[in-house]
Structure 1
Amino acid sequence: MEVRLIPTDRIVEDTGQPRTHTDEESLTELADSIKRHGILNPITVVPLHNVGMYRIVTGERRWRAATLAGLTEIPCVVRELDPEEIRTQQLIENMQREDLSPLDRARGIVALQDSTGATARDVAAMLGVSERTVSNLLDLLDLPADIGEQIVSKPNRPADGDLTEKHARFIKQLADDPDQQRRVAERVRQDRLSTAETASLVRALRESPELSEEILTAPPEAFTGYLKAKEQAAQSRAMAKADAEAVDVVRACAAALNELTPVGLSPDGLRSLRAALEEIRALIESLERECAMELAE
């Protein structure tokens, strides 16, 4: 890769650049850094052969900051690229910026897929991230736009009241009720909910929709209580069902025995019936003892 110094006044911006916003404060900070340390990474340009100029492919912020810092020339990598390659390079660079919001990153992935036909796996390879990361980012586009715009990226740092990508993954589970999603997002910000608390809140809302108003206004420490109450109610229903089934079996047996009569049986039949009744009596006595033990009698 050949790097050459090119005068800043022979370089022009790309008006088709997908990045449309520049943070003036961060640009000034970058200019101050360039004054002290110079440009550490060259920008990429393509030659405009007819006019002896160069158009920026990637590195527009560095070029602007260098101009602001008073540099008259900057290091550049000159490449021959077609319009599609230029667009791809620009999208990839923009998505690798640290200050890009998760939602803008997701939009960039869609733009990259649209312009190149790339799959999620292809995009992951281009960006040097996992396919799951790409999938999680694309999921953000399914959220209401006003929630998506609030999401920030804070990997390995406390949320501290911000709506993070992890919070968003749980909020997305309430996709059938956008208003409820907004209320959960508001709770996250107001009460500085952790992702674990948000997970419990969303699960409680999904499992007990009839209590949604009560749950949404409950303190965070109560979220797990709703889940436990739901589990206990389910256990109670299961136990009641088991109770009824046990009693029904015994009553069905009693009803069947009530229909029996020894009249008309042969001597062998009578002896067999008595033997069977002895077996039943032994089973009944055993069950009675087990019941007494369970009741601690």
Structure 2
Amino acid sequence: MVTTRSEHAPLIYLRPARGWIPLNLSALWAYRELIYFLTWRDIKVRYKQAVLGIGWAVLQPVFHMVIFTIIFGRLAGLKPDAGIPANLYPVFSFAALLPMQLFQGALQRASISLVQNANLLTKVYFPRLIIPLSAAAAGLVDFFFAFLVLVGLMLYYRVPFSWNLLWLLPLVLLALLAALAVGLWLSALNVQYRDVQQMVPFLVQAWMYVSPVAYSIDVIPAQGPWRMIYALNPMAGVIQGFRWALFGANPPDRILWVSVGVVAVLLVSGLYYFRHMERTFADMV
């Protein structure tokens, strides 16, 4: 039996987007369940058949903390921020490692997410922004378990808790947005140039050493433009904000606001570039 289209049935055309079109972020809400399932899938795949499982989320920052304490704290004699006792260097460095490793992991996963999900891109339609977004969000589980270790360290070293801890929530969000902002650029570029995925591990490693993780931001001269130039690294404001919220260290003030501005510029430009390149993903991936 042959069927024909009714005269009153709507005819829908699917065409690739052209030009610098609107972001249409409202579509993310319509596909919110897909974001959840892709995020949960990434978490399960990462620890599938791993003997230690989620324990790796704890071991990695703990291992780095031990190395930093021996090399930078003991041998190099680096000190925490002014007003923080020298014996708190282990928890001082661990507090910086948490947002830094959240940023590193989210950036690394987001930057290669489109290529890793090539089968989805070529078979079914959904907002492509969901892929790097879910890849970045998967790191929150690791962060949660590592944060429990930080709480234990603060109790062991008798670091007092304060209401400033509430600032950790927006600071975690800022670290994730920073990773997503850079990840949007790199993920779109990686579809065209596979050299990007070879560059990302070096990039995230170098980013840690140019951020105040093992050292205090006090080593950057406060006079002149140097500290404001240093604040162009968005993780500088995030890490200093973490230390201020946890230990009452130097307030991030202007550094944090510069970092917020940099993340906003990177995120908006990354969203538009990603949206602009979206129509080519299925053909090139």
Q: TM-score range by the shorter chain?
A: under 0.3
Q: Relative contact order (alpha carbons < 8 A, sep ≥ 6): 1 or 2 greater?
A: 2
Q: TM-score normalized by structure 2?
A: 0.21
Instruction: Give the number of the structure whose residues are more often helix, by fraction.
Output: 2
The structure whose Rg is larger is: 1
Instruction: Give the number of the structure whose residues are more often strand, by fraction.
Output: 1
